[in-house]
Amino acid sequence: MISSIILSSLMFFIIFFFVILMNNFALAAIIYAAFLFFLYARMTFSERKRAGSGVIYRRIFQTVFAVGFCIAFITDLLAERGSMAITNQAMSNSELPFCHIAIPQVLVPLMITKSIIFPARISGHYAAVASMFLIWFICTITIGRGWCSWVCFYGGWEDGFSHIGKKRRINLLPKNKEIREISFGFFMFIILSSLCELACTYCEWFCPFKLVTEYSPVNSIPSLIATIMFVGLFIGLVVVLPILTKKRTQCSALCPFGAFASLTDRFSIFQIKIDTDKCSGCMKCATACPFCAIDIKTIQDKKGHPEITCAKCGECIKACPNKAISYDFRFNLKKGGCNCGSKSSAPKTNFGRVIQELLHPAQLFRFAAFTFSVIMSSGFMIKTLNIIFSPLAALISGGAK
């Protein structure tokens, strides 16, 4: 209990600084800060009762952030350009916001040509290349692919739609391995095509989130085809299939950043472990995994961990009836992973138990991931709240007159 209070207090100060203080105590900032603190406190204390029970608060946050991000982003575009279409001036001046999905597409051309193929500013912009690379680097060595399930401002769309229905209409479990193979095959295609074309192929042709951010103007046959593809991929992979499969299908099969983050996740200090002695082979974890990172062979071969595409969302932990799945430190050299909290390793003093709980990988991972979420979401969400509150305030003031 004391460790949860300490972590909640630390998170309160982080939220206070990045959300309230950085926004001059604005009403929208205070409201959003209260929302964030409620989610973290509920998540932290519910996890004490049952491991994995806090994932619902992660889902709520990511869904709200994804929708809020797009509202703020689109509003800014309409204010600056008058439309969501990318203008020639923005392209020529390299003023496009640099998206994290473009990172793997620009790396190889950058090493060969020594130039950035994405039309964005290197620095001095709220989504400049340098700042996004720095965020990606810090994320890689801390939460790794946990970015996709905790921080990504697009993934919440799929997360939200995948939990609309109660029943799964299409079972993808037998195809989990094939979906992972498609993901890395498509990733290689995107990298090679981006190098050959010296352009971000995924962004120009395959990104479904163009529909809710910015897109190239439809003024030619190729641009019309690209627009049709954006719309079709959004409806198919972001809306329909997540509803039918309860999986994040675009994240699992198409996103090049997701595949790239899977490869670099080995540098992260956190991972998910499966205790093969406790596992009964019920496959509930594989069914629940939204990223197709656990399949029949994973359990049958007793690998002791999910496959490479694991995004550390915690859904498998919640689904496991035997408490066989948990967060662990990747650098833990003890056989069986971290034994924090076990009877054999329990400290004899209250102070020692508190320290042990504070240093538990599950506690530290959730704290690190939510801190990223707070920092990444604060600016966009406060803009969105101001957009929502402005008509209400005008309506109230008009009624008062």
Residues 342-376: tens digit of each pLDDT: 545 567 677 777 788 888 999 999 999 999 999 99
353 domain residue, yes or no: no
Helix (H, G, I), strand (E, B) or coil at 273: strand
Question: Distance between CA atoms of 283 and 296, rounded to whole angstroms?
Answer: 7
Structural domain contains residue 148: yes
Between CA 118 and CA 258, with CA 228 as vertex, the angle to 5 degrees is 50
Distinct helix (H) and strand (E) counts, the chain: 19, 2
Residue 336 lies in a domain: no
The mean predicted confidence, pLDDT, of the chain is 89
- The angle subtended at Cα 125 by Cα 124 and Cα 127, nearest 5°, is 135
In a domain, 372, yes or no: yes
Q: Pick the closest to residue 215 from 229, 202, 227 (CA basis).
A: 227
What's at 3, amino acid-wise? S
CA separation for the pair 22, 8 (Å, rounded):
20
189 touches 106 (CB < 8 A): no
User: Which of 54, 290, 251, 338 has the alpha carbon at shortest distance from 168?
Assistant: 290
Q: Residue 49 pLDDT more than 70?
A: yes
Whole-angstrom Cα distance, residue 81 to residue 259?
33
How far is Cα 259 from Cα 104, in angstroms, rounded to an integer? 9
Total structural domains within the chain = 1
Nearest in space to 153 (alpha carbons), one of 204, 97, 105, 78: 97
Does any domain span residue 337? no
Residue 180: inside a domain = yes
More confident residue, 401 or 383: 383
Position 339 scores a pLDDT of 54
Three-state SS across 277-345?
Answer: CCCCCCCHHHHHCCCCCCCHHHHHCCCCCCCCCCCCCCHHHHHCCCCCEEEEECCCCCCCCCCCCCHHH
- pLDDT recorded at residue 365: 95
Q: How confident is the model at residue 224 (pLDDT cuts 50, 70, 90)?
A: very high
Residue 347 included in any domain: no
Mean pLDDT computed over 56-70: 95
Rounded Cα distance between 114 and 100, Å, is 19
pLDDT of the residue at 333? 47
Reference 311, options 138, 159, 107; nearest CA is 159
Distances (CA, A) of 229 to 161, 200, 343, 373: 20, 16, 55, 30
| 343 belongs to a structural domain | no
Beta-carbon count within 10 A of 98 CB: 24
CB distance 195 to 109 below 8 Å: yes
Residue owning tokens 């049958």: 300
Task: Give strand pairing partners of 270.
Answer: 329
Residue 92 has pLDDT above 90, yes or no: no
Cβ atoms of 298 and 314 closer than 8 Å: no
Domain residues for the domain of 195 are 1-330+365-386
pLDDT tens, 238-295? Answer: 999 999 999 999 999 999 999 999 999 999 999 999 999 999 999 999 999 999 999 9
Q: Which of 368, 366, 371, 373 is nearest to 47 (CA)?
A: 366
HSE of 314, CA atoms in CB hemisphere, 13 A? 24
The model carries a pTM of 0.89
- Give pLDDT, residue 335: 45
Q: Which of 310, 360, 309 is nearest to 332 (CA)?
A: 360
